[in-house]
Amino acid sequence: MTGYIEGRNVSLTFRPPNRAPVRALGGFDIEVEEGEFLSIVGPSGCGKSTFLNVVLGLTKPDSGEVLMHGKPIGGPGSDRAMVFQEFGLLPWRTVQHNIELGLELKKVPVEKRRATAERLVVLVGLAGFERHYPHELSGGMKQRVGLARALATDPDVLLMDEPFAALDAQTRDLMQAELLRIWREARKTVLFVTHQIDEAIYLSDRVMVMSKRPGRAKKIFAIDLPRPREYEMRVTPEFNDLKLEIWNTLKDEIVA
């Protein structure tokens, strides 16, 4: 059985002018099933974010291929959306108008845009803040707007590049729980990049550990923990056994 998203022997080298080439990915393979939540952990600079940009269609590999629905990804498309670490909200637009941005660019009629934004405002827990501007929001609220904006165009796949890294610890824990709730309701396929092993285990169906640069898939762990998941499961022996096993796989790839 083939995956919903497939990366086959993907290699990519960056060649900046007047600097040495940087080989980001080397023989990278991955399969993601439809509706799956798969997290990728690995050392800094191993190509995690680079691979998300390949799936998004912004970066083309030197060799190998990435398929979606069995077809090569040739560029950006409305079936994929990215949620970034930096919130990327337009400061002159309200919450509602930031959420509507992608629909506006697609020339979706005003009434349909408004209805979609209103539904997503409720989904991400921002009811009552539709007319607020980004400078009036907390970090967690800004990330909720970013998530709603990504969902507005109804993509099949959500690509999430360390979306909670800029948040304080308590807000991060809250947003993880909120993401799981939204994922259950929206039923999207999620590729999630993080440096936090706890976060990856708590959210995911599977966790991939990548090697140091050039990045490749070192090992994939099935997260056979029951859903829905509660915060308290983080202190169970099963959770901590998984955390230790993933850490032992990852630590050899981290260069001091």
Class (C level, CATH) for 5-79+155-253: alpha beta
pLDDT at 99: 95
Q: Cα 95 vs. chain centroid, distance in angstroms?
A: 21
Using alpha carbons, list the distances in angstroms from residue 41 to 4, 136, 158, 194, 211: 20, 33, 17, 6, 9
- The DSSP code for 215 is B
93-115: string of b/e by CB count within 10 Å (b at 16+)?
Answer: bbbbbbbbbbbeeeebeeeebbe
pLDDT at 1: 45
What is the pLDDT, as a whole number, of residue 255?
63
Give the C-alpha distances (Å, rounded to integers) separating 95 from 74, 119, 154: 32, 13, 18
Residue 62 tokens, joined: 């030197």
Query: What angle in degrees, to the nearest 10, is found between the helix axes of 139-152 and 169-186?
Result: 20
Enter the pTM of the model.
Answer: 0.91
Residue 23 contacts by C-beta under 8 Å, 6 or more apart in sequence?
11, 12, 13, 213, 214
Q: Which helix (H) or strand (E) holds 23?
A: strand 22-32
pLDDT tens per residue across span 128-155: 999 999 999 998 899 899 999 999 989 9
Q: Angle between the 110-123 and 139-152 helix axes, to the nearest 10 degrees?
A: 130
* pLDDT for position 165: 87
Give pLDDT, residue 161: 93
Residue 210 exposure: Cα atoms within 13 Å on the Cβ side: 29
Partnered with residue 201 across adjacent β-strands are none
Beta bridge partners of 8: 65
Category of 128 on φ-ψ map: left (φ > 0), alpha (ψ -120 to 50) or beta: left
Quote the pLDDT of residue 54.
Answer: 95
Compute, in degrees rounded to 10, the torsion defined by CA atoms 135, 171, 178, 131: -20
d(CA 39, CA 203): 8
Alpha carbon distance 205, 67 (integer Å):
21
- Hey, where are the domains in the chain? 5-79+155-253
pLDDT lower than 70: segments of the chain: 1-2, 255-256
